[in-house]
Amino acid sequence: MIMGCGRVGARVATRLSEDHDVVVIDWNPGSFDRLESDYSGDTVVGNGIDVDVLRDVDVGGADLFLALTDGDNRNLMAAQIARSLGARKVLARVYDATRSDIFGEMGLITFSPTVNGAKRLFALVTKDGEER
Amino acid sequence: MYIVVVGGGKVGYHLTRSLMAEEQEVLVIERYGPKADRITRDLGATVIVGDGAEVATLEQAGAERADVVAAVTGHDEDNLIIAQVAKRRFNVPRTVARINNPRNEFIFSELGIDATVSATQVILSIIQQEIPQHPFVHLLTLQEGGIEFVELQLVDDSPAVGRTINQVGLPEETSVPLFIRDGKPLVAQQDVTLEENDRIVAVTVPHQEAALRMRFLGTGS
């Protein structure tokens, strides 16, 4: 289950739908245009930080919930709701590195594009090309 | 007391003004410059322009010595994360979060927020009390222990009518301190016989609510 059908969400959804049952949630139906033509999952229009919306899509039955909107707090809240409703594994994208660490310590899987992007960029521009 | 208010909208503004009138030490965190300027100008309050969900901003606000952090922006997701960061990173003893979508209330308390305030819920309760047929009304919730005050209105066919509180029997973790008859509050003795139109004020916990309704009103929902 993926919340947020931006560029990243749409790509991940399309790739995952090759081998898994995927549902993408976004409050803007126009965002589903970003899904590639071979996307085989479902789409749901709704607000992912509304408990009732996540219950309706049966987030508790999900093996994986990815919160990938462009709002750090929205992602962290949705991931925590999903976890409390029983999703087995939850991940939140968090741009702010400090907040990413704090909620990582609290048991969420967090992914910071800022930290990872900087690492990758650093590797590209230094001679050794090693990520550090 | 040192209180950090995050969000300088209408709620934050008036909250700050009221706290200052009580001579509390207050600091406001507001993201939008012109709003922050207005609070400084009108109230003379200390205001930091910044994002209250960021650790650096809370640090600058001295959150580690705050007795209370109140997150009262218009966005539930921001209020939740601000309160969680304040608690987790700065050990703030009491965190308060404003809730706009009342359906989010349970998740906030489950995620460790000490107290929540939902204007929608408060107004809904007041309206419910004005509707005479509404037999069950939430009056107040004390978030820490999940303790709630509820009111039950007895009608002619309620199973509790004509019986004493003792005979009705209370569920576990529930007590009835008073009831209201003819508009007057009366201390609820165990042997008083209940009548139609009595309003029972009970203190209970959420998971005993259905049992309480069933005993007094004959219906669990």
Entry pTM:
0.77
Q: How many domains does chain A have?
A: 1
A73 vs chain B: nearest CA distance in angstroms? 5
Q: What value of ipTM does the predicted structure carry? A: 0.89
**Can you give the residue range of the structural domain that contains B15?**
2-117
Q: Note whether B51 and B139 are same-domain residues.
A: no
**Can you give the residue range of the structural domain that contains A27?**
2-125
Token pair belonging to A5: 């059908």
Q: Note whether B110 and B147 are same-domain residues.
A: no
Residues of A within an 8 Å Cβ radius of B: 49-52, 71-74, 76-78, 80-81, 84, 96, 98-99, 102-103, 105-106
Q: Note whether B167 and B79 are same-domain residues.
A: no
CATH of the domain at B150: 3.30.70.1450
Does residue B124 form part of some domain?
A: no
Contact A51 B107 (CB under 8 A): yes
Tens of pLDDT, residues B62-91: 999 999 999 999 999 999 999 999 999 999
Token pair belonging to A28: 């803007």
Q: How many domains does chain B have?
A: 2
CA separation for the pair A69, B45 (Å, rounded)? 35
User: Using CB atoms, which residue from A52, A77, A106 is nearest to B80?
Assistant: A77
Does residue A131 form part of some domain?
A: no
Using CA coordinates, name the residue in chain B closest to A76: B81
Query: In the block, which residue shows the tokens 């126009």?
Result: A30
CATH of the domain at B84: 3.40.50.720
Query: What is the DSSP-derived secondary structure letter of residue A11?
Result: H
Tens of pLDDT, residues B153-198: 898 889 999 999 999 999 999 999 999 999 899 998 888 899 999 9
Q: Note whether B195 and B135 are same-domain residues.
A: yes
Using alpha carbons only, how large is chain A's radius of gyration in Å?
15
Q: Note whether B70 and B103 are same-domain residues.
A: yes
Measured in degrees and rounded to the nearest 5, phi and psi for residue A84 equal -70, -25
Query: In the block, which residue shows the tokens 């479902």?
Result: A42
Contact A51 B104 (CB under 8 A): yes
Token pair belonging to B14: 């008036």
Contact B77 A77 (CB under 8 A): yes
Does residue B126 form part of some domain?
A: no
B3 vs chain A: nearest CA distance in angstroms? 22
Q: Note whether B7 and B75 are same-domain residues.
A: yes
Contact B88 A106 (CB under 8 A): yes
Q: Note whether B110 and B206 are same-domain residues.
A: no
Does residue B125 form part of some domain?
A: no
CATH of the domain at A55: 3.40.50.720
Tens of pLDDT, residues B98-139: 998 888 888 888 888 888 888 877 787 777 766 666 788 888
Check residue B191 and give its pLDDT: 86
Does residue B82 form part of some domain?
A: yes
Check residue B121 and give its pLDDT: 76
Does residue B52 form part of some domain?
A: yes
Q: Note whether B192 and B98 are same-domain residues.
A: no
Does residue A130 form part of some domain?
A: no
pLDDT band at A41 (very low <50, low <70, confident <90, very high): very high
H-state helical runs in A46-128: 51-56, 72-84, 97-105, 113-125
Q: Which of B84, B117, B150 is the last residue of a domain?
A: B117
Does residue B35 form part of some domain?
A: yes
User: Using CB atoms, which residue from A71, A98, A105 is nearest to B77?
Assistant: A71
Contact A102 B76 (CB under 8 A): no
Q: What is the 3-state secondary structure (H, E, C) of chain B?
A: CEEEEECCCHHHHHHHHHHHHCCCEEEEEECCHHHHHHHHHHHCCEEEECCCCCHHHHHHCCHHHCCEEEECCCCHHHHHHHHHHHHHHHCCCEEEEEECCHHHHHHHHHCCCCEEEEHHHHHHHHHHHHCCCCCEEEEEEEHHHCEEEEEEECCCCCCCCCCEHHHHCCCCCCEEEEEEECCEEEECCCCCECCCCCEEEEEECHHHHHHHHHHHHCCCC
Paired residues of A43 in beta bridges:
A24
